[in-house]
């Protein structure tokens, strides 16, 4: 495949545009996606190509336009809903959780809701408590939804194309601080299967599992640990529901140690689920307890020094790795 370097936002745009050219039932709706070219310029140029019938600006009414998308999906269309941030999507949770996720079962298989709900998730600098939350564990708790949380442009494009073609409602999480990141993305079409984690860095001494922008933390920690001859295997979950337990278990059987890095709060987080699964299904392979590096158990403060204290970072991850290796 011919590969070029493009920005994360361009990879997402290519995924949506390619699927819209392939299937006339796919359309994009959300706040400022049309005339303004997207709040983060993800949809730049799409209005000019596809027209106002398929690139639709909405009012600031997340519950309303999420409901329109669910109804459209029930009638054979394939909407992509862009939320300016997943924090604002809290207003649309009734439609995502009570309508989209449950429609197929409640209708006895007569109606599905193939909607992709996408947008940035998590913290993005000094945006304070109500604009800096990570929602993977929330949405992953509801049967009927698939949850994807990507860390780079290559995965974003391949998984978004798969999500748009999928017959289930999908929560697709990005990050504001990654939209300008560069990634190697093939020019030819490709798809990435939903539900399959990816080993970003092989290793033998400890497994580090992460997702979304915390992958930067995990990989940075692994690079520093390598300088001390500690070989960390780094796994990017990519899909949160369904979760690829097999890849994690196989890695732990090799390394015998596990650290999970996530931006979510500790109670009920993805790391808690993984720790339970490994402890129940791979306990005999563990040489140390599973450790988690999470956000602090508090709303995100505004002050820069408190933001740094709140978020996981490479130093905290390295400390956790050394603890499971009994080096500290």
Domains of the chain: 3-186 (3.40.50.970), 198-324 (3.40.50.920)
pLDDT tens digits for 82-118? 999 999 999 999 999 999 999 999 999 999 999 999 9
Confidence of residue 328 (pLDDT cuts 50, 70, 90): confident
Q: What is the pTM of this model?
A: 0.96
Residues listed for the chain: 328
Active site amino acids: 62, 131
Which pLDDT belongs to residue 125?
86
Whether residue 171 contacts residue 203, with contact meaning beta carbons closer than 8 Å, is answered with no
Between the CA of residue 51 and those of 33, 45, 230, what are the distances in Å? Answer: 12, 10, 54
Torsion of CA 302, 303, 309, 312, to 10 degrees: 50
Which pLDDT belongs to residue 327?
85
Which pLDDT belongs to residue 236?
98
Average pLDDT, the chain: 97
Distance CA 12, CA 42 (A): 7
């Amino acid at each position: 495949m011919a590969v070029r370097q493009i920005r994360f936002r361009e990879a997402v745009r290519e995924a949506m545009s390619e699927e819209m050219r392939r299937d006339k039932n796919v359309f994009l709706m959300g706040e400022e996606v049309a005339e303004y070219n997207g709040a983060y310029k993800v949809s730049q140029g799409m209005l000019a190509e596809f027209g106002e019938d398929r690139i639709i600006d909405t009012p600031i009414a997340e519950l309303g336009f999420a409901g329109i998308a669910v109804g459209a999906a029930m009638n054979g269309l394939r909407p992509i809903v862009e939320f300016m941030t997943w924090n604002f999507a809290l207003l649309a949770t009734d439609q995502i959780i009570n309508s989209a996720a449950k429609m197929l079962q409640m209708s006895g298989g007569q109606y599905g809701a193939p909607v992709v709900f996408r947008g940035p998730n998590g913290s993005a600098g000094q945006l304070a408590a109500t604009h800096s939350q990570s929602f993977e564990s929330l949405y992953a708790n509801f049967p009927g939804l698939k949850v994807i949380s990507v860390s780079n442009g290559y995965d974003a494009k391949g998984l978004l194309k798969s999500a748009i073609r999928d017959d289930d409602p999908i929560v697709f999480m990005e990050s504001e601080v990654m939209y300008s990141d560069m990634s190697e993305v093939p020019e030819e079409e490709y798809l990435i299967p939903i539900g399959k984690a990816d080993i970003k860095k092989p290793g033998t001494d400890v497994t580090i599992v992460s997702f979304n922008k915390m992958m930067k933390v995990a990989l940075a920690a692994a690079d520093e640990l390598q300088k001390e001859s500690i070989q960390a295997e780094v796994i990017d979950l990519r899909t949160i529901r369904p979760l690829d337990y097999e890849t994690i278990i196989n890695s732990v059987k090799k390394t015998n140690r596990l650290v999970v890095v996530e931006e979510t709060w500790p109670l009920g987080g993805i790391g808690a689920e993984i720790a339970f699964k490994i402890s129940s299904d791979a306990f005999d392979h563990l040489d140390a307890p599973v450790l988690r590096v999470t956000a602090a158990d508090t709303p995100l403060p505004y002050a820069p020094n408190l933001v740094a204290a709140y978020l996981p970072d490479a130093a905290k991850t390295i400390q956790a790795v050394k603890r499971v290796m009994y080096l500290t």
